[in-house]
Amino acid sequence: MTEPILSLENVVAGYGDTTVLHGISFDVPAGERLAIIGRNGVGKTTLLKTVMGLTRLHSGEIRMSGEVINKVPPHRRAGTGLGLVPQTRDIFPSLSVEENLLSGMKGDATLEEAYDLFPRLKERRRNGGGQLSGGEQQMLAIARTLMGRPAVLMLDEPLEGLAPVICDMLMETFETLAADGRHTLLLVEQHTELALAFADRVIILDAGAVVHDGPAQALRDDPAILERHVGVGLAEV
């Protein structure tokens, strides 16, 4: 069997002495589209931040391509192939679109590839990050993370607060990225229906633990699983 690109084993993590994740284990094969869903406050953001080294890891192991990265500091984790688009987007409001993109650029990444993915950013390249609409800010946050050439792209509620037409456009972008053979995608999303349509596999978190891990098709076929763990059926999301 080929080595998973990302692997978590019994990860216990949180903030200071507080534990939020209580022994999380899963493997992600390269190229997978993994959706991580669950009610508010169950630890989805904490999970992505933990993979990025932004929380306190109490115990367990995180591996990228077989290498344990527990001790790799957050600013070096991009170098292991990880990229996180945070829920807060964290773009620099006083820098232009172009400067924001340059701030994330590594290796042979080019501005043109960001503009090919999001032509709207090219039109807005001289505007300040703070002048962009919510949708444009999200495009910029995604494009900037991609400038770091991540093999594993983690997206934390990228559709939050965005108009349906922008959500559809971003989902198409995720399809493009997933299909290009260079990206593994971890998508945390409250728009469960869109997440299930996109994903190969779904992990459901509850109270900082994995309560379901299986093919997305199983949840599409049997919404009762979703009802049980997330408290809503597909029709309601």
d(C-alpha 75, C-alpha 147), whole Å: 15
CB of 219 to ligand ATP, least distance (A): 18
Nearer to ligand ATP by Cβ, of 85 and 101: the residue is 85
User: Which of residues 44 and 63 has its CB atom nearest to ligand ATP in the complex?
Assistant: 44
**Residue 50: CB minimum distance to ligand ATP, A:** 9
The rounded distance, in Å, linking the Cα atoms of 57 and 132 is: 35
Q: Which residues of 27-55 are buried (b: 16+ CB within 10 A; e: fewer)?
A: ebbbbbbbbbbbeeebbbbbbbbbbbbbb
Q: Which is nearer to ligand ATP, 41 or 161 (CB)?
A: 41
If the CB atoms of residues 68 and 207 are measured against ligand ATP, the closer one turns out to be: 207
Q: How far is the CB of 199 from ligand ATP (least distance, A)?
A: 17
Q: What is the DSSP letter of 96?
A: B
Terminal CA-to-CA distance of the chain, rounded, Å?
37
Measured from the CB atom, the residue of 113 and 206 that comes closer to ligand ATP is 206
- Long-range contacts of residues 115-119, Cβ cutoff 8 Å, at least 24 apart: 117/143, 117/146, 117/173, 117/176, 118/142, 118/143, 118/173
Q: CA dist 220 to 188, 193, 201, 213, 227, Å?
A: 17, 9, 11, 14, 12
Q: How far is the CB of 16 from ligand ATP (least distance, A)?
A: 7
Give the nearest distance from C-beta 45 to ligand ATP in angstroms: 3
For 19, which DSSP code? E
User: Interface residues with ligand ATP (CB under 6 A)?
Assistant: 15, 18, 20, 38, 40-46
Give the nearer residue to ligand ATP in terms of CB position, either 17 or 108: 17
- Cβ 28 to ligand ATP, closest distance in Å? 18
